[in-house]
Amino acid sequence: MVNKLCASVSVDRFIGALDPCGAKTQLQTFETMMTYLPLFKMPKPMKITARSSSITNSFINSIIPVILPTEELVKEALTILGLLEKYQCSYCGQVATEWDHLRPLVVNKKPTGYISEIHNLVPSCGKCNQSKGNRYWKDWILSDAKLSPKTKEIPDLSERIKRLEEYEKWAIPTKIDFEALVGKELWKEHWSIWEKILEAMVESQKIAELINKKVEMQYKETETRY
């Protein structure tokens, strides 16, 4: 009790010393004017169908082999990109956390034929990789897309573009006609399962929305009781 009283007296004296004519009153008025709802960030509602692109990417990435490069190839790649002495994102210069495909593996929900090999991969930060998505690197890097190097106003962007262009000329990446390789029957079976999953996701979303409404109604009924 003594500690609380002392603290209260100390605060009052401090405010009074700042403005004996009404600093405390002004502080109370300021607190009254404060609004707190804008500080609250509601989690975004989840939709099952919003994950359809992830399912598509999984169906494509799961059939694409990942080829481990040699020590010499990694060194050569970093040399061409000018990153041998300072390992960083090829696109913006931030800390590199992964390697991104220069040429996309997926376009219009279909595989392009490229695989995961070093001739089609460059060091990237997570933000650039996410911003770029399935777009061709040169179209994206000079676009006004959110978090693109142009949008972030990277000072040495032109130099980075030149290095990436040289990297593209370094070696022709592997490109495979998957359907021709495995046969139409097996290829059709793979994508038939994909279609069924997407159709099931649409139906699941409808059921989820019904459940969501019932739960929300129950919550509102419970709230009115108190």
> What is the mean predicted confidence (pLDDT) over 158-169?
96
Sequential DSSP letters for 166-203: HHHHH-PPPB--HHHHH-HHHHHHHHHHHHHHHHHHHH
Residue 202's pLDDT is what? Answer: 96
Average pLDDT of the residues in 125-145: 94
Counting Cα atoms < 13 Å in the Cβ hemisphere of 35 gives 2
Nearest to 100 by CA among 114, 86, 82, 110: 114
Instruction: Please state, in angstroms and rounded to a whole number, the distance separating the CA atoms of residues 194 and 189.
Output: 9
Which amino acid is present at 77? A
pTM, 2 dp: 0.72
Per-residue pLDDT at 154: 95
What's the pLDDT tens digit per position in 41-89? 888 888 999 899 899 999 999 999 999 999 999 999 999 999 999 999 9
